């Protein structure tokens, strides 16, 4: 098992929303491609210490035929900083472990997500967006609303209102933090859904970051996974091909 310190391993800490506030940090990982192989081959009483070309083909077979349990014998933990509306989508993925900062215990830092551009409502997919545009007047109104919410929150606290009630005035774009722990099977399921072109753009960006952080540690499994599902994704997997290739050398 390897532990990662975000302060000393900046390559394991990304800013998915590129606003200087969001964060995705790989803090701990256990297991590797070889554990996937050994989990699969235990059915025949087999065990190996080195990955062979035959093992690569085995991992490919497992992915293509949805034999998923060998991908469960590992663990990845991330520290995530994201807007509340992203996190509430994220936690719909229930087969994981989560622990989140509580604004009952601590005051909010009043950090808010401000979109760099606006998106139109998709006319076909009722839950999705399409295209983009800029409108500074709308951004000004958006920021004013955030300032009013933050000011009211502070006034409530100053007047003695408890944190668990005062937090109710905070908007859904308020940043929160949580620890997210999963296995590779669960992560790949998350990626399939959240890299899809119908997923909200913000959670797509976090999914891209998780893939980038995880790829060097499971290069064969994630490489074979991306070959199988690339056609279904809006994500440019070629961007991270060097990471897969280097890890395989």
22-78 residue pLDDT tens = 999 999 999 999 999 999 999 999 999 999 999 999 999 999 999 999 999 999 999
Sequence-distant (≥ 6) Cβ neighbours of residue 117 within 8 angstroms: 132, 133, 134
Q: Using alpha carbons, list the distances in angstroms from residue 73 to 8, 35, 40, 189.
A: 28, 7, 10, 15
Q: Which domains occur in the chain, in start order? A: 2-102+174-248 (3.30.1360.170), 118-169 (no CATH)
Q: Which residues pair with residue 26 across a beta bridge? A: 78
Q: Residue 225 pLDDT > 90, yes or no?
A: yes
pLDDT attached to residue 12: 78
Q: Give the per-residue pLDDT at 41.
A: 95
Using CA atoms, how far apart are residues 72 and 52, in angstroms rounded to an integer? Answer: 21
Does the structure show a pLDDT above 90 at 172? yes
Over residues 224-246, mean pLDDT = 70
Provide the whole-model pTM: 0.90
Q: Point out the residues that are catalytic.
A: 194
């Amino acid at each position: 098992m390897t532990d990662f310190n975000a302060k000393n391993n900046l390559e394991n800490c990304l800013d998915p929303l590129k606003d200087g506030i969001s964060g995705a940090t790989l803090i701990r990982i256990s297991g590797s491609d070889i554990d996937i192989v050994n989990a699969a081959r235990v059915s025949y009483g087999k065990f190996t210490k080195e990955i062979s070309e035959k093992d690569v083909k085995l991992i490919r077979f497992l992915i293509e035929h949805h034999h998923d349990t060998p991908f469960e014998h590992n663990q990845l933990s991330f520290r995530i900083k994201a807007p509340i509306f992203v996190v509430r989508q994220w936690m719909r993925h229930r087969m994981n472990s989560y622990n989140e900062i509580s604004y009952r215990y601590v005051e909010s830092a009043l950090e808010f997500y401000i979109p760099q551009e606006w998106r139109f409502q998709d006319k076909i997919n009722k839950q999705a967006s399409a295209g983009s545009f800029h409108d500074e007047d709308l951004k000004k109104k958006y920021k004013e609303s955030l300032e009013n919410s933050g000011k009211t929150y502070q006034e409530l606290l100053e007047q003695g209102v408890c944190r668990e009630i005062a937090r109710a005035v905070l908007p859904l774009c308020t940043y929160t933090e949580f620890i997210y722990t999963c296995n590779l099977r669960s992560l790949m399921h998350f990626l399939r859904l959240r890299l899809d072109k119908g997923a909200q753009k913000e959670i797509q960006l976090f999914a891209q970051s998780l893939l980038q952080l995880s790829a060097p540690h499971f290069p064969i499994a994630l490489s074979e996974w991306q070959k199988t599902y690339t056609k279904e994704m809006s994500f440019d997997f070629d961007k991270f091909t060097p990471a897969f290739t280097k890890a395989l050398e």
